[in-house]
């Protein structure tokens, strides 16, 4: 259908398809469209294949074509092999539906170079709703696209680097955790095996003194085992509660071994020490308690073996105080036989910078160990 | 006098199994079998009558102790106590087991656990205090130690 034969009034937009028509030249809006730096075209959907009927100078500058090369052609000549099919589909759909559309699309200049076109197309209808034109404006957004692409690429590269690094770290952590579990498992099993070996050996021995010696060794090994078990069963492997350990030890040595004739008096505040002090402190506690049990009640002057053992733990003024007392035979009966135990206590005390006080409590013995405990660990008891 | 326990040992370390057997027998109980893998354990479960099975998590064919516990539970043949250096590998439901004796355990800790279990199996709930180093499963905690 030839639009010129319709009854549409010839307004300024109509005239623009002919660049030399007098009518359009006098129109200030038409003049503005011609002169603006914004690239603009008008197409006529009532002609076959919706050809361009007007293109301003900015459009020609942007695309590199001459005016006579573009007038009368559908503007798809701007598309090329790398133009996104989806963007083309969006345009086609908008034209079919006679709707506005705004799309970023890769276009080709006459010389084959490309530019990113922020294309806006809008249908123009008359009062009766009849479609007359499509108005299209083009904006070269290649710079913006480039930086967008760069930002996206940077972001992707960065995300990938982060992902790679995270994977590496997770793998490393996984390996570390596996190794730690393996080592922990092995340490525990080995401690159990050492105890088992000593027990088996002890079974073959009839000499009471030799058996006693192995028992003492077993108890020391078991003290180490208990420290290890408690540390790795707790939520925080860097802290150790000496009072919990003492409770376990007393229940193990007194209650479980059937020494029902011995009463234990426990006065235990929670005492938290750093893990590196756990072993020496636990060995000292073990030494004092087993010592009290073994020797203090051996031979009461009146022949009875019933007695009391008391363990007190407190932490005044940045110190950890451990007091083990009994009402047994007293120092005279204990010191000579426990010389190695004594040496052990003294050496461990030196390692801990602790002070040891042996009192003849008459009856019995009282030993007080005072260990400096870092102020920051005070009040950490839970 | 409470009737002694018949014990099945499922443990891959010969040394530990040997010593455990001695301790169990010294305490007046009897050992009815020893298995080192989950297959051996299933066979032992099918062919013996045990009151208690001490089951290590890690056996010669891998961390299959929980499967063994589940099998014993399905057969309803005996009760299970895990005995492991890896108590964190035990599922929350304990596969129906009474609880766990964490390795390394002490000789006295084991003996008091045996006494506790003997009471628990023969005349539940046990009268003795829960031994140090013995952790009850949540289900048995409710039945055997409701106030603890």
pLDDT in tens, chain B (148 residues): 789 999 999 999 999 999 999 999 999 999 999 999 999 999 999 999 999 999 999 999 999 999 999 999 988 879 999 999 888 888 988 988 999 999 999 998 899 899 999 999 888 888 888 888 899 998 888 888 776 4
3-state SS, residue B4: coil
pLDDT band at A338 (very low <50, low <70, confident <90, very high): low
Question: Both tokens of residue A204?
Answer: 């073959």
Of A189, A197, A251, the CB nearest to B103: A189
Domains in chain A, CATH or no CATH each: 3-140 (3.30.450.20), 205-377 (3.30.565.10)
Contact B23 A225 (CB under 8 A): no
* Closest C-alpha to A293, from A252, A328, A345, A266: A328
The 10s digit of each residue's pLDDT in A89-127 is 999 999 989 999 999 999 999 999 999 999 999 999 988
Distances (CA, A) of A194 to A97, A186, A190: 87, 12, 6
The predicted model gives A300-306 an average pLDDT of: 55
Q: Report yes or no: A247 and A266 within 8 Å, Cβ to Cβ.
A: yes
Q: State mean pLDDT over A240-244.
A: 88
pLDDT in tens, A363-373: 778 889 998 87
- B132 and chain A: CB distance < 8 Å anywhere? yes
Residue A244 touches chain B, beta carbons under 8 Å: no
d(CA B114, CA B4): 10
Q: Is A260 on the interface with B (CB under 8 A)?
A: no
**Exposure b/e, B48-67, CB count within 10 A at least 16 = b:** bebbbbbbbbbbeeeebbbb
Residue A79 has a pLDDT of 93
The residue of B18, B28, B107 whose CB has the most chain A CBs within 10 angstroms, and thus the best one to mutate to test that interface, is: B107
A191 touches chain B (CB under 8 A): yes
Interchain pair B108, A185: CB under 8 A:
no
pLDDT, tens digit, 9 for 90 and up, residues A272-289: 888 888 999 999 999 888
**Range from A105-109, A137-141, A245-249, A255-259 carrying the lowest mean pLDDT:** A255-259
Q: Which residues of A touch B22 (CB under 8 A)?
A: 199-200, 203
Considering only residues B119 and A12, tell me which one the structure prediction assigns the higher pLDDT.
B119
Contacts of A234 in chain B (CB under 8 A): none
DSSP B56-107: -S-BTTBS-HHHHHHHHHHHT--EEEEEES-GGGS-TTGGG--EEEESSPPH
* Mutation choice for B interface testing from A189, A198, A241 by most B CBs within 10 A: A189
Cα A81 to Cα A19, A91, A104, A106: the distances in Å are 32, 16, 16, 10
The pLDDT value given to residue B128: 82
Query: How many CB pairs below 8 A link A and B?
Result: 83
Asked whether the beta carbons of residue B129 and residue A188 sit closer than 8 angstroms, the reply is no
B85 chain-A contacts, CB cut-off 8 A: 184-185, 188-189, 192
Look at A118-127, A322-331, A349-358, B23-32 and tell me which has the smallest mean pLDDT. A322-331
**What pTM, to 2 d.p., does this model score?**
0.68
- What mean pLDDT do residues A144-155 have? 91
Cis geometry, peptide bond prior to residue A25 (ω within 30 degrees of 0):
no
Q: What is the mean pLDDT of residues A278-307?
A: 75
CB-closest option in B16, B106, B107 to A193? B16
Q: Does A256 touch chain B (CB under 8 A)?
A: yes
For residue A147 the two structure tokens come to 């930086």
Report the SS3 class of residue A61.
helix
Look up tokens 């709707």; give the residue: A99
For A196, which of B15, B129, B132 is closest by C-beta distance? B15
Chain A residues close to B23, C-beta within 8 Å:
199
Between CA A58 and CA A37 the distance in angstroms is 5
Q: Is the pLDDT of residue A5 over 50?
A: no
- The pLDDT tens digits of the residues spanning A31-88 come to 888 888 999 999 999 999 999 999 999 999 999 999 999 999 998 999 999 999 999 9
Query: Quick check: A290 and A219 in contact, CB under 8 A?
Result: yes
pLDDT band at A306 (very low <50, low <70, confident <90, very high): low
In tens, the pLDDT along A189-226 reads 999 999 999 999 999 999 999 998 999 899 999 999 98
Give the residue on B whose Cα is nearest the Cα of A203: B22
The residue with tokens 């027990």 is A199
Asked whether the beta carbons of residue B16 and residue A192 sit closer than 8 angstroms, the reply is yes
Q: Is the ipTM of this complex over 0.95?
A: no
Whether chain A has a CB inside 8 Å of the CB on B106: the answer is yes
Candidates B15, B86, B132; nearest CB to A193 = B15
Confidence of residue A296 (pLDDT cuts 50, 70, 90): low
The structure tokens listed for A257 are: 């071994």
Give bridge partners of residue B89 from the DSSP assignment: none
Q: Please, are residues B121 and B51 in contact by the beta-carbon 8 Å criterion?
A: yes
A197 touches chain B (CB under 8 A): yes
Q: What is the pLDDT of residue A240?
A: 87
**Cβ contact, residue pair A195, B107, below 8 Å:** yes
Closest chain A residue by Cα to residue B112: A256
Q: Which two tokens stand for residue A94?
A: 């908008």
Class of domain B6-144: alpha beta
* Average pLDDT value over all residues in chain A: 83
- The pLDDT value recorded for residue A382 is 42
What pLDDT, on a 0 to 100 scale, did the predictor assign at position B124?
Answer: 80
A193 and B23 within 8 Å at the Cβ level: the answer is no
Comparing alpha-carbon positions, the chain A residue that sits nearest to B14 is A193
> Chain A residues with CB inside 8 Å of B104's CB?
188-189, 191-192, 195, 222, 225-226, 228-229
Could you tell me which chain B residue has the CA closest to the CA of A234?
B88
Q: Is A279 on the interface with B (CB under 8 A)?
A: no
Question: Strand A52-55 vs strand A101-108: parallel, antiparallel, or unpaired?
Answer: unpaired
Which pLDDT score, from 0 to 100, does residue B1 have?
Answer: 73
Shortest CA gap A359–chain B (Å): 30
A178 Cβ under 8 Å from any chain B Cβ: no
DSSP string, A197-257: HHHHHHHT---HHHHHHHHHHHHHHHHHHHHHHHHHHSS-TTEEEHHHHHHHHHIIIIITT
């Amino acid at each position: 259908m030839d639009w010129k034969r319709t009854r549409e009034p010839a307004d300024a937009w109509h005239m623009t398809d002919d660049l030399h028509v007098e009518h359009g030249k006098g129109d200030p809006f038409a003049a503005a469209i011609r002169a603006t730096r914004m690239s603009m075209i008008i197409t006529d959907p009532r002609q076959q294949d919706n050809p361009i009927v007007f293109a301003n100078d900015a459009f020609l500058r942007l695309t590199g074509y001459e005016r006579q090369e573009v007038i009368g052609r559908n503007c798809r000549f701007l598309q090329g092999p790398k133009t996104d099919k989806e963007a083309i589909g969006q345009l086609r759909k908008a034209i079919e539906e006679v709707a506005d559309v705004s799309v970023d699309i890769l276009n080709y200049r006459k010389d084959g170079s490309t530019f990113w076109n922020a294309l806006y197309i809008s249908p123009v209808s008359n009062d009766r709703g009849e479609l007359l034109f499509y108005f299209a404006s083009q904006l070269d957004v290649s710079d913006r696209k480039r930086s967008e692409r760069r930002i996206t690429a940077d972001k992707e590269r960065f995300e990938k680097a982060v992902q790679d690094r995270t994977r590496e770290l997770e793998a490393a952590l996984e390996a570390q955790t596996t190794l730690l579990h393996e080592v922990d498992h092995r340490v525990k099993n080995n401690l159990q095996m050492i105890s088992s070996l000593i027990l088996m050996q002890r079974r073959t021995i009839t000499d009471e003194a030799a058996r006693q010696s192995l028992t003492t060794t077993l108890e020391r090994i078991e003290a180490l085992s208990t420290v290890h078990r408690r540390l790795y069963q707790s939520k925080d492997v860097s802290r150790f509660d000496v009072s919990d350990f003492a409770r376990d030890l007393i229940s193990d040595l007194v209650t479980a071994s059937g020494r029902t004739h011995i009463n234990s008096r426990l006065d235990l505040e929670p005492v938290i020490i750093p893990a590196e002090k756990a072993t020496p402190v636990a060995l000292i506690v073990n030494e004092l308690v087993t010592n009290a049990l073994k020797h203090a009640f051996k031979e009461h002057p009146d022949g009875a073996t019933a007695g009391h053992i008391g363990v007190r733990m407190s932490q005044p003024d940045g110190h950890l105080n451990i007091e083990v007392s009994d009402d047994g035979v007293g120092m005279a009966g204990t010191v000579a036989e426990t010389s190695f135990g004594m040496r052990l206590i003294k050496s461990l005390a030196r390692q801990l910078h602790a002070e040891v006080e042996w009192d003849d409590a008459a009856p019995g013995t009282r030993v007080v160990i005072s260990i400096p405990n870092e102020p920051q660990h005070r009040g950490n008891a839970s | 006098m409470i009737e002694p326990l018949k014990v099945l040992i499922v443990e891959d370390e010969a040394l530990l199994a040997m010593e455990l057997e001695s301790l169990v027998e010294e305490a007046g109980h009897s050992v009815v079998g020893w298995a080192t893998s989950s297959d051996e354990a299933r066979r032992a479960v099918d062919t013996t009558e045990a009151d208690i099975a001490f089951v290590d998590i890690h056996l010669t064919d891998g961390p299959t102790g929980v499967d063994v516990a589940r099998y014993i539970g399905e057969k309803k043949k005996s009760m299970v106590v895990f005995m492991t250096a890896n108590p964190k590998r035990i599922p929350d439901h304990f596969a129906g087991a009474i609880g766990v004796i964490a390795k390394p355990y002490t000789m006295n800790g084991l003996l008091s656990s045996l006494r506790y279990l003997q009471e628990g199996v023969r005349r539940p709930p046990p009268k003795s205090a829960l031994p140090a180093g013995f952790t009850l499963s949540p289900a048995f905690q409710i039945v055997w130690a409701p106030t603890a």
